């Protein structure tokens, strides 16, 4: 009955877009990968990243060892700022494709490339693995002082096109053109992902973020795809909001958001802003999904390079990523033990790292988490 109210264009688009292919994408993304045997080891690609990433991954490995987690890491150092130490990106992509799961630190992106290539390593990984959906769960943790209490919302970012298309050129001397690519296919795909995610996780509202008042064709297409997708989910409330107003509303009234879906660049901005509201880059986990694999990585894109070797970084975000990864590979007991230990340590306030107003080192925090594990 509801479909009869749609225009012929919408019905035709729906037949194409919400086909079996996209249904299978959602089913694969929202499913868990089960090991063959209860105690068999799950292989996971580990990419430490730049900045404090390697130190945070050491924290994860120490906690996993203390818990005897049946996960075997296939560790690979990938870096754009230390190319002589880096493995080829093709090797990393092959490993992730084979394992279907990865834990990744943040990769630093230099302002210029010695080879003149415009695509970054992050962009290559996302495009070659088709990691089209970046999901960040922004939730305040008891024990962390924040301006707004009880935050709990989701940001979903399309991350294979838009301003990150690496299509720039100098048309005439002194004039640079940068192309923003927005396609109907990928806009509908991320919109459906967002609504499916909202339904699966019991959310009530989806907000599309855009700048269609200025970029009438590109962002207009994205908004239209979201609006037409929303008609297929009458149980969910749908709103749309301009990106600049979104930033203001997030700072002043963040509780009005539930699930947010947006194009690439806006998602990067909103993710970092939202992480700041929840306590900073060190406490918010994220994940990037394709139809076949998932990469868990911190929600805020910050390598904290100035803290390298000082043993002061907060491993909370990386440990939460690890906990979410354990749940994804059907190890929920280990995931819960790790999450509970983290929440206990943070709530006690006895091992606060510097970003949270304390003096605990990364090592101190990690040992506190291990001590709080329920055996």
Residue 115: which pLDDT band, with cuts at 50, 70 and 90? low
Same domain membership, residue 293 and residue 260: no
Q: How large a percentage of the chain has pLDDT more than 70?
A: 88
For 330: left if phi > 0, alpha if psi spans -120 to 50, otherwise beta; the answer is left
% of residues, the chain, pLDDT over 90? 80
Q: Domain boundary residue among 213, 247, 278? A: 278
pLDDT of residue 116: 67
Give per-residue pLDDT as tens, 43-68.
Answer: 999 999 999 999 999 999 999 999 99
Please report, for the domain that includes residue 292, its CATH number: 3.40.718.10
306 lies in some domain: yes
Least confident of 16-25, 96-105, 335-344: 16-25
Sign of CA dihedral 358, 359, 365, 368: negative
Predicted confidence at residue 166, as pLDDT, reads 86
Instruction: Give the integer Cα–Cα distance in Å for 43 and 97.
Output: 12
31 inside domain: no
Instruction: For residues 106 and 143, give the distance between their C-alpha atoms in angstroms, rounded to a whole number.
Output: 25
Domain final residue pick, 278, 303, 334: 278
Rounded mean pLDDT of 322-349?
96
Is pLDDT above 80 for 337?
A: yes
**pLDDT band, residue 114 (cuts 50/70/90):** low
Whether residue 3 lies inside any domain: the answer is no
Global confidence as pTM:
0.87
Residue 237 shares a structural domain with residue 293: no
Secondary structure class of 132 (helix, strand, coil): coil
Task: Quick: pLDDT tens for 249-274.
Answer: 999 999 999 999 999 999 999 999 99
The verdict on 154 and 246 lying in the same domain is yes
Statement to judge: residues 306 and 225 lie in one domain: no
Residue 35 belongs to a domain: no
d(CA 322, CA 339): 9
Query: How confident is the model over 159-209, as pLDDT tens digits?
Result: 999 998 888 889 999 999 999 999 999 999 999 999 999 999 999 999 999
Structure tokens at 299: 């929600």
| 290 and 365 part of one domain | yes
Longest dimension (CA), the chain: 66
Domains identified in the chain, total number: 2
Closest to 344 measured CA to CA, from 143, 69, 60, 67: 143
pLDDT bin (cut points 50, 70, 90) of residue 39 is low
How would DSSP label each residue in 72-91?
A: EEEE----SSSGGGPPPHHH
pLDDT for res 256: 96
For Cα atoms 115, 106, 355, give the angle at the middle one, nearest 5 degrees. Answer: 135
**Same domain (yes/no): 186, 162:** yes
Do 51 and 358 contact (CB within 8 A), yes or no? no
Query: Are residue 163 and residue 232 in the same domain, yes or no?
Result: yes
Does some domain include residue 30?
no
Q: Quick check: 38 pLDDT over 90?
A: no
Q: State the residue range of the domain holding 102.
A: 41-138+281-374
Which of 226, 244, 278 delimits the end of a domain? 278
pLDDT for 236: 98
Reply yes or no on whether the pLDDT at 15 is more than 60. no
Q: What is the DSSP string of 28-84?
A: HHTS-PPPSSTTSPEEEEEE--STTHHHHHHHHHHHHHHHT--EEEEE----SSSGG
Contact 70, 331 (CB under 8 A): yes
């Amino acid at each position: 009955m509801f479909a009869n109210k749609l225009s012929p264009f919408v019905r035709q688009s729906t037949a194409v877009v919400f086909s079996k292919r996209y249904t299978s994408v959602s089913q694969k993304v929202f499913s868990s990968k089960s090991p063959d045997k209860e105690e068999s080891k799950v292989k996971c690609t580990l990419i430490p990243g730049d900045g404090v990433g390697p130190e945070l991954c050491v924290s994860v490995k120490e906690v996993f060892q203390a818990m005897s987690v049946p996960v075997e890491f296939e560790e690979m150092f990938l870096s754009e700022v230390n190319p002589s130490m880096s493995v080829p990106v093709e090797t990393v992509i092959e490993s992730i494709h084979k394992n279907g799961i990865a834990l990744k630190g943040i990769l630093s992106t230099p302002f210029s490339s010695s080879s003149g290539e415009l695509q970054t390593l992050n962009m290559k990984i996302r495009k070659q693995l088709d990691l089209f959906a970046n999901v960040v769960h922004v939730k305040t943790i008891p024990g962390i002082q924040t301006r707004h209490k009880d935050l709990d919302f989701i940001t979903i970012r399309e991350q294979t096109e838009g301003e990150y298309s690496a299509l720039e050129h100098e048309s005439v001397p002194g004039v640079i053109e940068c192309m923003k690519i927005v396609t109907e296919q990928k806009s509908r795909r991320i919109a459906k992902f967002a609504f499916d995610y909202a339904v699966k996780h019991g959310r009530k509202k989806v907000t599309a973020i855009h700048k269609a008042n200025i970029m009438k064709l590109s962002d207009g297409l994205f908004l239209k795809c979201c609006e037409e997708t929303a008609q297929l989910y009458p149980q969910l409330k749908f709103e749309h909001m301009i990106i600049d107003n979104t930033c203001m509303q997030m700072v002043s009234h963040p509780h009005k958001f539930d699930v947010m879906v947006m194009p690439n660049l806006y998602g990067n901005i909103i993710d970092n802003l939202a992480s700041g509201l929840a306590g900073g880059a060190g406490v918010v986990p994220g994940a990037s999904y394709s139809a076949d694999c998932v990469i868990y990585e911190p929600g805020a894109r910050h390598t904290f390079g100035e803290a390298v070797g000082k043993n002061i970084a907060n491993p909370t975000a990386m440990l939460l990523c690890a906990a979410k990864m354990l749940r994804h590979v059907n190890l929920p007991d280990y995931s819960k033990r790790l999450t509970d230990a983290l929440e206990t340590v943070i709530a006690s306030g006895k091992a606060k790292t510097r970003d949270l107003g304390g003096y605990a080192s990364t090592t101190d925090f990690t040992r506190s988490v291990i001590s709080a594990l329920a055996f």
